[in-house]
Amino acid sequence: MSKDNRDRDKEDYIDDESELAVETEEEELEEELTGSLSQDLHTPSALSNRFEEFLTAYKDSKTKEYIYFEQISSIAFQSLPVFVLDYNDLLIWENSETLTNIFYEDIDTALATVSEAITSIIYEINPEFDSKITVRISHFDISRSFREIDAELIDRMISIDAIVNRASKKKPWLVSSVYQCIDCTTSIESPNNKQIRKCSTCESSKVIFDKKKSKYTDYKQIMVQELPEDLPPGQLPERLSVSVFGNDLTNNSRPGDRIKMTCIVRLDYDSQTLTNLKIHDPLGIKGKQFGTTFELILEANNIQKIEGFGALDNASKTRQLTDADLERIQKVKQDYYLNEKLINSFAPHIYGHEVHKEATLLEIVGCRQSTDHNGTNSRGDSHLLFVGDPGKAKSEMLKFAMKVAPRGLYTSGGGSSAAGLTAAVVKDKSGSMMLEAGAVVMADQGLCCIDEFDKMRDEDRGKLHEAMEQQTCSVAKGGIVATLNARTSLLCAANPVYGVYDPYKTISENTDLPPAMFSRFDLIYVLKDVIDLELDSRVADYMLGIETVETEEHKQNYKGKFDTEFLSKYLYYAKHLHSKSNPKLTLEAKIRIKDYFNDIRARAEKDKNNATETITATYRIVDALERLTVARARLLLKDEADNKDAERAIYLTNEMYRSFGIDIETGKVNLGLIHGKPLERMSKQNLMLEILNEISEGGKIEIDFDNLVQQLMLTRKFHTEMEAETTIKDYINRQVLNKVSGKRGIYEFNKDMIRGEY
């Protein structure tokens, strides 16, 4: 190689090396600038500028309007401005990664920066603006359950679904304190609301708090707990205390409301820590024996009250409907035997009880509150009561109903007080009065199952009258006067006071419940333990899982069933998501209900004095039949409630009458067995007392059994001697007639044992 070529190669090498060095320097400079720019983007001023750019430049995708700039303009002249930022808008805005990250890393800085950006924009509109802006965040994407809230989330923003359990009275909260010097009249604003003891101008110690110039906001303390449908089996509901600030939030929730809340997890001293810190260890550093424990509380940033069902219940993990579920629901909707399959799917571990299962399904689905042409509201929730002998699966049906209902609560009457069922006023830790919601209020727009209904005290049970008919719970105590919503269906079960149901007594006598309570139930079924060897054998085989040879009739009647999970989803869809979830009664259905009501009312019989001897039906049965008819149409996902639905509602009502409404003494329908004493029986009892008084001369002489039977038969009120003897034996059992010792068939009339109902 020549010298010239070597020199030329050397020059090329040097040039390449120089170019490489320049490129390296440029890359290093670019990295330095990028790092510097990245650091600058996280400074408060840079973040404020980015937020200001977003607030002024963001357009709504549908309306193409500058929604945030318009919102800022509307609050520019308010004394307590509130700004609502939709977090979803921030996520879809280009180059917003830095802005969204700050919400995860340091929520307090994020809120302060947004407030600063808004203030900067407002100054261009209103230069005299000097108010503090409250920033609310909606649709925050970090959702947590109650059981996932722990120490790692301190000072972080989360979103939770909850139900309000308690709420205190609204109080003023000091935001900015101002003091005034008495000597020089100087106004001094206190930093961090600390007390000022000396004037900064004249150094006078005569400084007083200026109530008029100080600024306040509304404050309220509420207690929230996890949703009943999200509660793990066998677990107690988790509760958390929430501090609510601002007039826009303090009036936005009350006990019983279901809410979606955006909040910040805060740390607070628990009561034991405060006590021990004051007594033992001012710094709280000596160990847990001195109470260095804390309490997690929530600071509400935004509260969205959930009206209806869809938005909130979709968040429930147990009832999320997939596309496959929706497709299956539309498919089974066309099934001719859908009603039978739904009945078979309810509590499949219980043999029989088809009528009771169908009635419970209709109560779960219910119908919506209706308003007539006069503007009068009529409740849409039905109430159902099971009364019967022990071992008839009443409690099992209640628990299964609570399990599959879209919203359900279960409680026992024996352990429930009036306050626990409706509402109460209680004291919090500070001694302030708080309004607490009970089970009926917590189950608003859902199902409340009350077992052992007969074990409740009369004064506690009386509180349910308002909730059952007016669907509200009123409370006035401790300076709190409030009315809470209780739009709840009650499913109750009661046992007879005598151990087994006595058909000779009214339902009120059997359960020791007042007749006024029974009139509020749409359906009441008596479950009697009747000995039937064939049926008993089938039930035992079913309970023991014994394979039996099914009859041809059973094979033809059994139409299949759905699994419990799908049944729960189907009921949720039928109650809340079906597009025609409020079907109207057809004219034919209305006429059928009217004809049935007129027919049963016409069965009333008159005595010789033209007085009504039997009670047939009250006007409330018309409302009950309408609710049941519409509920069946909703259950089957129908667009209107037709004559078939009305016939089924009438069938369920007739089955109620057959369970106990047939007066065994007359063989005729007599609703006195529901709403009080049968008038026929009251007449016989009065007649019996007259005869006893007459033949015993007011209890002075003894009574012969056979003679008493003959006297009763002469009145022609008793159709057979056996009927008269049964009535006399009833008086003997009640010790109104006492057997005379040593004299066969001779009795004494004990007037002192006559109870008021005679």
Number of Cβ atoms within 10 Å of the Cβ of 723: 16
- pLDDT above 90 covers a percentage of the chain that reads 10
What is the pLDDT confidence band of residue 166, given thresholds at 50, 70 and 90?
A: confident
Q: Which residue from 226, 266, 224, 257 is spatially nearest to 146, judged by alpha carbons?
A: 226
Euclidean distance between CA atoms 582 and 150, whole angstroms: 43
Q: Within the chain, what is the greatest distance between any pair of CA atoms?
A: 159
User: What per-residue confidence (pLDDT) applies to 554?
Assistant: 55
d(CA 202, CA 101) in angstroms, rounded, equals 48
- pLDDT for residue 581: 67
pTM of the entire predicted model: 0.70
Place of tokens 């299964």: 400
Whether residue 193 is predicted with pLDDT greater than 90 in this model: the reply is no
Answer yes or no: is pLDDT of 361 > 90.
Answer: yes
Q: How many CB atoms sit inside 10 A of residue 123's CB?
A: 12
pLDDT: which is higher, 67 or 694: 67
DSSP one-letter string for 361-420: HHHHH----EE-TTS-EE-----EEEEE-TTSSHHHHHHHHHHHSSSEEEEEGGG--HHH
Write out pLDDT tens, residues 477-531. Answer: 767 777 888 888 899 998 888 778 877 677 777 787 777 788 788 898 988 887 7
Q: Residue 637: pLDDT above 50?
A: yes
Question: Residues 302-351: pLDDT tens digits?
Answer: 998 876 543 334 334 445 678 888 888 888 888 888 888 899 889 888 88
Mean pLDDT of the chain: 77
Beta bridge partners of 83: 135
Separation between Cα atoms, residue 55 and residue 121, nearest integer Å: 9
Q: Which of 122, 102, 2 is nearest to 52 (CA)?
A: 122
* pLDDT digits 0-9 by tens, 285-295: 444 444 467 78
Q: How far is 622 from 584, CA to CA, in rounded Å?
A: 15
| Structure-model confidence comparison of residues 485 and 220, the more confident one | 220
Token pair of 72 as six digits? 């800022």
Quote the Cα angle for 21-27-28, to 5°. 90
Q: What per-residue confidence (pLDDT) applies to 236?
A: 76
Task: Give the model's pLDDT for residue 757.
Answer: 40
Distance CA 416, CA 461 (A): 10
Q: Which of 334, 346, 310, 322 is nearest to 638 (CA)?
A: 334
Per-residue confidence band for 588, with pLDDT thresholds at 50, 70 and 90: very high
* Mean pLDDT of the 639-653 span: 90
Rounded Cα gap, residues 223 and 159, in angstroms: 16
| Confidence bin at 426 (pLDDT 50/70/90) | confident
If phi over 0 gives left and psi between -120 and 50 gives alpha, with beta otherwise, what is residue 560? left
